[in-house]
Amino acid sequence: MSQPDPSVLEEIGQLRVALNDANYRYYALDEPTLTDADYDRQLQRLQQLESEYPDQVVPDSPTQRVGSAPTEGFPEVAHAIPMLSLDNAFSRDDIVAFAQRVAERLECQVDDIEFSCEPKLDGAAVSLVYEQGVLVIGATRGDGRTGEGITSNLRTLRSVPLKLVGDELPALVEVRGEVIMRHSGFEALNERAREEGSKVFANPRNAAAGSLRQLDPRITATRPLEFHAYQAARLEPDLGDTTHSALMQRLSKLGFRTSTELTTMRGPEAVADYCDQLGAKRDQLGYDIDGVVIKVNDLRHQRELGFVARAPRWAVAFKFPAQEEVTTLNDVEFQVGRTGAITPVARLEPVTVAGVTVSNATLHNADEIIRLGVMIGDTVAIRRAGDVIPQVVRVDEEKRPADARAITFPDHCPVCGSDIERLEGEAVARCSGGLYCAAQRKEALKHFASRKALDIDGLGEKLIEQLVDQEWVKTPADLFHLSVEQLKSLPRMGEKSATNLVNALEKAKQTTLARFIYALGIREVGEATAANVANHFGTLQALQDADQAALEAVNDVGPIVAKHIHTFFRQPHNLETLQVLIEAGITWQESEVTQGPTPLEGQTWVLTGAMESMTRDEGKARLQALGAKVAGSVSKKTTCLVAGEAAGSKLTKAEQLGVEVIDEATFIDRLTAWERSE
With respect to Zn ion, which residue has the nearer C-beta, 441 or 536? 441
Say whether 553 sits in a helix, a strand or coil: coil
Choosing from 272, 353, 416, 623, the residue that interacts with Zn ion (CB under 5 A) is 416
DSSP-derived secondary structure letter, 283: G
Q: Which stretch binds Zn ion (CB under 5 A): 18-26, 154-162, 410-418, 496-504?
A: 410-418
With respect to Zn ion, which residue has the nearer C-beta, 82 or 414? 414
- Neighbour-count burial for 146-155, b at 16+ CB within 10 Å, e otherwise: ebbbbbbbbb
Say whether 136 sits in a helix, a strand or coil: strand
With respect to Zn ion, which residue has the nearer C-beta, 15 or 413? 413
Binding annotation: 36-40, 85-86, 118, 141, 178, 295, 319, 413, 416, 437
Closest CA to 257 of 300, 287, 294: 287
Does 415 bind Zn ion (CB under 5 A)? Our answer is yes
Q: How far is the CB of 333 from Zn ion (least distance, A)?
A: 14
Rounded to whole angstroms, the Cα distance separating 660 from 434 reads: 45
Rounded to whole angstroms, the Cα distance separating 405 from 387 reads: 31
Residue 458 CB contacts under 8 Å (≥ 6 apart), including other chains: 497, 500, 501, 504
Q: How far is the CB of 586 from Zn ion (least distance, A)?
A: 23
Residues within window 418-447 making contact with Zn ion, judged by CB under 5 A: 418, 431, 433, 437
Binding annotation for NAD(+): 36-40, 85-86, 118, 141, 178, 295, 319
How far lies 112's CA from each of 104, 270, 541, 637, in Å?
A: 12, 12, 88, 89
Q: Of residues 120, 563, 620, 650, which has the active-site annotation? A: 120
Q: How far is the CB of 523 from Zn ion (least distance, A)?
A: 13
With respect to Zn ion, which residue has the nearer C-beta, 92 or 412? 412
Rounded to whole angstroms, the Cα distance separating 88 from 259 reads: 20
232 touches 251 (CB < 8 A): yes
User: What is the separation, in whole angstroms, between the first and last Cα of the chain?
Assistant: 66
Rounded to whole angstroms, the Cα distance separating 147 from 599 reads: 72
Choosing from 380, 382, 413, 647, the residue that interacts with Zn ion (CB under 5 A) is 413
With respect to Zn ion, which residue has the nearer C-beta, 243 or 567? 567
Q: How far is the CB of 431 from Zn ion (least distance, A)?
A: 3
Q: How far is the CB of 464 from Zn ion (least distance, A)?
A: 18
Rounded to whole angstroms, the Cα distance separating 652 from 633 reads: 12
Closest CA to 352 of 317, 390, 314, 378: 390
Kind plus residue range of the DSSP H or E element containing 93: helix 92-106
Rounded to whole angstroms, the Cα distance separating 573 from 303 reads: 78
Q: How far is the CB of 152 from Zn ion (least distance, A)?
A: 50
Residues within window 565-624 making contact with Zn ion, judged by CB under 5 A: none
Q: How far is the CB of 433 from Zn ion (least distance, A)?
A: 4
With respect to Zn ion, which residue has the nearer C-beta, 418 or 475? 418
Size of the site for Zn ion (CB under 5 A): 7
Residue 181's CB is within 10 A of a number of other CB atoms, namely 29
Residues within window 505-564 making contact with Zn ion, judged by CB under 5 A: none
446 included as an active-site residue: no
Rounded to whole angstroms, the Cα distance separating 429 from 412 reads: 11
Which residues are known catalytic residues? 120
Chain residues binding Zn ion by CB under 5 A are 413, 415-416, 418, 431, 433, 437
